[in-house]
Copies of this chain bind each other. A is one copy, B any other.
Amino acid sequence: MTNDDLVQLFKAQLFSDLPLSVLEGLANTGFVQSEPVDAVLFAQGEMPRFLHVIFSGRVALVGSSAARPALHATADRAPHHGTREAIVEIFKGGDVVIAPAVILNRPYLMSARVIETSRIAFLPAESIRNLINENPGFSRATTSMLAEHWRLLARQLKGQKLRSGTERLAAYLVSLVARQTDVGASVELPLDRQTMASWLGMSPEHLSRSIAQLKSLGVVVSGRRASIGDIDRLRAFCLDDDLR
């Protein structure tokens, strides 16, 4: 691992309180690698071997299951794909990809797939578990991170249960704007439509129509740019009681 990599690692929230010597020790047990789109970091059911720290790019957590056996079993008419998939979470630079499985040393509940070329550090699961046991500061940092992540998921689940598809899209746009520092109206969408649809929990077609619907609220989306006429109207529409 180069010195530059060490700096990157340091920048990740989780490691930023670690004394340099400890961080170096940790870094030496791992390695850094570039991963192309569609690379699979790990698959649902596998035992975790590494904790993945994303330096740049984006990685999606994907849940999948076999396509349904059909209630009124109509013979074996195998459809073209055979699996249903849904993106459950998306991680980006500075994030750590699912500590829970690593910490508990239990099989992954989901797969991780690179959706934007990424540089990723692979830290051996064992090193991480040891560090948690031996370094109280790191243990506390982990606690905070997990608590944050829990809240992310909880917010997701809440949205999934009580917002419609179009409302979720609106909420997503609002969250993008919030993250941007630039004042107002125009945001860059970091995801393509397919990914976005899966992440928002709807079909790509429906996403398209949802976008069309939001036009009546002054939102225009074209390619990867979204311009928002009146953010407050959007906020009202998606029932944004989002708490930090």
Contact = CB atoms under 8 A, between A and B. Distances in A.
Interface of A: 44-45, 61, 63-66, 68-69, 71-72, 84-86, 88-89, 99-101, 103-104, 106-110, 132-133, 136, 139-140, 142-144, 146-151, 153-158, 160-164, 166-167, 201, 213, 216-217, 236-237, 239, 241, 243-244
Contacts of A157: 63, 88, 153, 156-157, 160
Given A65-B239, A106-B151, A139-B143, 5 more contacts: A63-B157, A109-B151, A110-B158, A150-B153, A161-B201
A18 B148 CA distance: 24
Interface residues of A: mostly helix, strand, loop or mixed?
helix
Contacts of A100: 146-148, 150-151, 154
B236 A69 contact: yes
A171 B44 CA distance: 18
A243 B143 contact: no
A58 to B, nearest CB: 18
Q: Of A85, A155, A157, A163, which is in contact with the most chain B CB atoms at under 10 Å from its CB?
A: A157
7 contacts: A63-B157, A68-B167, A69-B236, A71-B217, A100-B148, A100-B150, A107-B244
Given A104-B147, A110-B154, A136-B136, A63 B244 contact: no
B144 A84 contact: no
Nearest to A61: B154
A108 B167 CA distance: 22
Contacts of A69: 236-237, 239
A110 B155 CA distance: 9
